[in-house]
Structure 1
């Protein structure tokens, strides 16, 4: 399933990055599936993440002066690469696919390839000559109307079907974000874990001292990164004949390990309790007409002797 919106911007300054992330958070709060670089976790490919720009239902370019400069004159930069893919995909997309948000860009300039297309634009500029005139909820409402395909005229009534769809989107978002949807109290079991949908890409099982957590992200066609972040330590079992009593020796020192389909991972929580997780199958994301969300099939077991 493609994202509702991909936000493209330049890393002009820490303040500018924070502004872009706050805008994304605002739109996520409205129930939209928004992609922005902050969603890339350790081990993911930033280039692979940027390629998702051509699959998103909408693209919003935050064009400050630095963004325009990099798009036109720095073809190997992140902004330059994104704009090349976007330029190639643009002729096949509907007119409503792409829009421009002007920020710190009083002349409303766009990358040169886009100028002739005259995309819809939203001005979030602050003019120093008008110290009391700041963009706010009115501009966010304009963004919402564009994402929903509604007329720019705010006097136009919002169809009830749109309101219902928006309510359903919020409900689906709340369900995906509910931690109880991504855990099991059982000490052993199996699960098809769609990790991209889970909060922090983490699945939990057990309770109290035995609770453990599996945090993953995509790696290769048959492998995933497994992280120690939510627990204490992780490792890959290299000896198929190893006993439960010797599992601790398989723990690694680093932040993550690479686990391939068919391998077993050992996890240790902050209480020293161990779990083993078999990676039964790995399915990475497949984009296109037949979209397949990434997932792994797992079988876990809390090691009683630990």
Structure 2
């Protein structure tokens, strides 16, 4: 139950997590300040609360009893399990807290599931019992997973290489830019699809200038002469590009392969493979 609630984004304190032999006092202080308290009540819990005043169950019931009158009616609820008669500790007889029936009835093929979790979630959120506009927890979990998958894809660790030279295959449809190098030798470069063997390469993600290098030019000291303040160039496979960052450092990239996006039964994302070398000391 605690795991399910944590998956929905709640902070859950549970007495089972208290180290064996430790005092329950700190835990019960947390209970008293919680937004919601859910008592998991089976028949054994009721018997211990009513008949064993020195038990942990009885102690936590005293704490809750002292706090409940200063709390809103929605603060305390009860979840019944292995408690077919939905019995409550004696002190709660006049409290009439909201209850959730999580009893299993194998002879009838009845077991608690998503409907009971949905009712529990609605109580936590203070939503009405009427489910005309309900959004079940299963949908929320699916949305949360969808968001996390996108966050993972967008994690900068997935599209950065701090080394000064290397070779990269970059699925540019998933990211705004790729980062090579670090510190004063950092370059952010963005791509988009141009043709079957070429890409747009943009300078507007932190570069100062970009330029195509003619295939005939091999003099690294001449590379900077090809720089232009243009927003983009369109290098094809085999072509080199020179980049300049905001503090004037240079990087040379060679386009080695271009993969256009293919949308059919087996989706192939757009990608570009490039080698790069940052010209340290230039």
TM-score for the superposition, normalised by structure 1: 0.46
TM-score for the superposition, normalised by structure 2: 0.50
For the pair shown, the structure with the greater C-alpha radius of gyration is 2
